[in-house]
A and B are shown apart, each in its own frame.
Chain A
Amino acid sequence: MSVKQPFERVVVAHGPTVLRVCRAVLGAADAEDAWSETFLSALRAYPDLPADANVEAWLVTIAHRKSIDVVRRAARQAVPVADVPDRPAAHDGRDLDLWAAVAALPEKQRHVVAYHHLGGLPYDDVAALLGGTAAAARRAGADGIATLRTTYPDIDGGRR
């Protein structure tokens, strides 16, 4: 029988994964907003989640919805400016190139990399989230990773 853990343990266990997913989908600047919205929403709904649910998959699905909200909100608030401001640097500068390389991927590829490779969602679930077939999601993901290997050659090095 599964036991539902205190929510604190959910944050500790899955917080880093959800942050990676949000960074891949939105970039470093907006990722934290989506992370907070994801865990607030999860905290609200947590008592009703079945004890045997896959908590990480549930969180990644919420992160996807919250990321869409963040993008929509940003679009509504967008004000035309003469000069496009520089991308805000990741605050410690680390892995900036990596997330820039991820950001440069076509949207579908970026989303599959975020939800499957970082979030651990099976391709079937990714397809249900993004539309299309599992096979198409698998191809998009493979294309995305292949592109990253050329745009960010250190990708297999596990730089810290």
Chain B
Amino acid sequence: MNETKRPPQDEELLTPQGGGGGTGSTPMGLPPDSPRGIALPQVEPEGPGEGPSAATGGGEVGAPGMPAKKEASALRLLLTLALSGALVGALLVFVYLWSQPLILAYQAQVLAESIQEVLKGPDHYETVFVYEEGLTAELPPGVDSTALDRVYLGFDAQGHPVGFAVAGAEAGFQDVIRLIFGYDPATRQVLGMKVMDNKETPGLGDKIVKDSAFVGAFGGVEAPIVGVKVGRSTGAATEVDMITGATISSRAVIAIINHRIEALGALLEAYHQEHANGAGGGPGVEGRP
């Protein structure tokens, strides 16, 4: 907020709507070419110390300026900014405290539903943290879990593990694609895939969510997955047909899954074998319907 220390003449260089007003000031006509000419309507230099005479493209040209305070003192400027900043901050904290639980609750609900979907309806699941080169459902006390990578282990009604739900995110064509997939380390099969967040091109790239053949192909495919163009499939258990016209997005989805399995596969397998004898359903259980 350095404006407070600047002499008022510099005001002309400050008007932030200048960039936008440039087009607005000369409605329907091609704006003049020189940058000076474009900025002119807003960038009228003010007499030092005078109340600003604002003349934006709105049509109220030549109206008397702001309250005609002569050279407000630096202290007053600082006070105004500090006071408004404090008020604004307080208001935002209030709204934040109200909205945050709702947002987190929604995210948790979406996550739970997605886990149900990609693990084909497990009886319950538990969160397993990646901690110090291993997987553990129970962290030593005092460890902050928020920053830890995690997977979700689903169990059937008898308490046998059915597979892990693993979330992953990587850049797609336009923006980050976030997805979650089910993985059974015993058979090295992907159980299902659900894209949770994407900004891919509507009508093309967003078929990774809407194309049921593509999404369905991830049920039962073996890792590491190989993406093939439609019609070039050799029938191998590791192949998924990519979507025509959305090759980049399809390939991104496959890459996210492969990378995550590559990184965590061995850990998942070890943890799975440990718990395969039905020892699941320990204290970390959550998500039981």
Q: Do A and B assemble together?
A: no
Name B residues whose Cβ lies closer than 8 Å to a Cβ of A: none
